[in-house]
Structure 1
Amino acid sequence: MIDVKVINTIAIAEDKINHAVFRREKGHLKLLNYSYFDFDFNDIDRFKLIAKDLKSFSDRDLFTNITFVARETIKEIFPIKGNPKDVKMDVIEHIKDAYMVELADFYFDYTISSVGDLMVCYAVLFPKKIGEVIFRELTKEGFKLITAETDCDSYKRGILKLRDENHFLLLHIRRMDSVFMIFKDGVMMLERQVINGFSDLVDGISLQMGITPENAEEYLVNKGLDKMKSSDDEYAIVASVVDRLSMQIQRTLDLYFQTYRGEPPSNIIITGLGVKIPDLDRYISELFALPTYKESFMKLMETEIDLDFRKLDYLDAMICLGLEE
């Protein structure tokens, strides 16, 4: 086993690439450098230029983990009932039927975990024509690829570093979207990605209050759902906008109950940009009658450099990815 002290983490998303260099220290990561690039999957050949730039921002030890945040990635979680003789073939047939894809066109990976009386499969497919370019160009530049995984894998690792939980719903709010995940016994039982993100909340407040998006974001992070800081009318507007996320929480729980027919999660954990919204945890807790907590993955990192968080949309995923050893 290579003892990697300095690690590059690269988050590849729809329209941008985030990159961070961490030094692994006891119990946390220290951010040494970071960079970000505009990116378009429709112009994948441009990645060779990005790979060269990534190297210029990297440490000379180019050990690297990659996380894919892209919607081009197919992620599917489903229970396998009974005890099929050939689990892998059962998974493959399910994926082919569900997505009408030829597996020859994708990198395919899956894990099977036992939870109670069920086996739960987490299957991932990533377009081979895209992956081959990314892996080839990084290798050409000397990057030593250790692992490639999805954002869900890294968030799971991060939250279990922060909290000793057994059964919970994780609501991770990013700028342009949000991810809902339900975990039980360390296994991801359900995952949903929705278009309602932090920017959606800001735009809703901007429209209903008749203020600029900049002022709406300032209002959201300074007052949020704190009744003591807002008038009744202002609170009602913010609550109505946040309920776009509340509806998605309910749909996630409904889908979970339909799929597994088990006990509800013990609590809800809010991460990402959700931690910036005052009293969001209290509001969600009262709405769903479940204990709700905020947790910041930034607790797992320290740095002495200034960060532009508007550019680093996927810093949370990179922190969690950097924890992999």
Structure 2
Amino acid sequence: MNQHQFEKIKNGKGFIAALDQSGGSTPKALAAYGIPESAYSNEDEMFDLVHEMRTRIITSPAFNSDKILGAILFEQTMDREIEGKYTGDYLADVKGVVPFLKVDKGLAEEKDGVQLMKPIDNLDDTLKRANERNIFGTKMRSVIKEANPEGIKAVVDQQFEIGHKIIDAGLVPIIEPEVDINSPEKEKSEELLKAEIKKHLDNLSDDQPVMLKLSIPTKTDMYKDLIDHPKVVRVVALSGGYSTEEANAKLKENDGLIASFSRALSQDLNADQTDEEFNKELADAVESIYQASV
């Protein structure tokens, strides 16, 4: 593990940019960026376009380590290059931003009020490649829709089971059990989730650091004791469908919680913007998310 990057993520001021839209969410991300599905005729062309979008974001002067601590990449992005360097190396060497990798393969069908992760068949190979590409940590997402104790326990058990494999590979896992912000049982789900996470954290040894990525809680400072837990490197928040403004306002209320926003970071960016317009919109988004995080 890179100790300099570890210290930056643990103690640095800023937030983590989520640039990890995968195959299923890429058409939506491109459409929001002003590129309709009619602009590409197959998956390869689609992924080329989304890499161009991500490259434009990452190479922008507004995307820098003054405000951004880390960035989460999609697996294909890790294997692609920016200005002659693999994306993770470009982030670390040129931008001073710590690279993470999304490793999950999407969500299973809903059962017991939750969606577990689909099996991650090639995890060992992915983690080996992540190390070769100088990736610091990983991210994997499950979703909780109801305050179902069995379902929530299953989500957290699965997250930490895979998390242990990631730790064994020398990487820091971001455990992401998202609570659906539209759930009528959101606050109750968060109480159950916190209790399950705490059980697992208390069983980790000192050399098993993890990060948590959670929905911004209904109850202010709900996750403060997770943030302060000795086994937790950092707790970051997902925007979960909130607008940038709304997500930032809710984030500010929670001491020690920092952003790891995706849509909220890029919602005002457009393929047709001039570089000047694009960089200004990105700078405004970065600044607002940074202020909410610090």
TM-score by length of 1: 0.30
- If each structure's helix is expressed as a fraction of its own residues, which one has the higher value? 2
Please tell me whether Structure 1 or Structure 2 has the larger radius of gyration of its CA atoms: 1
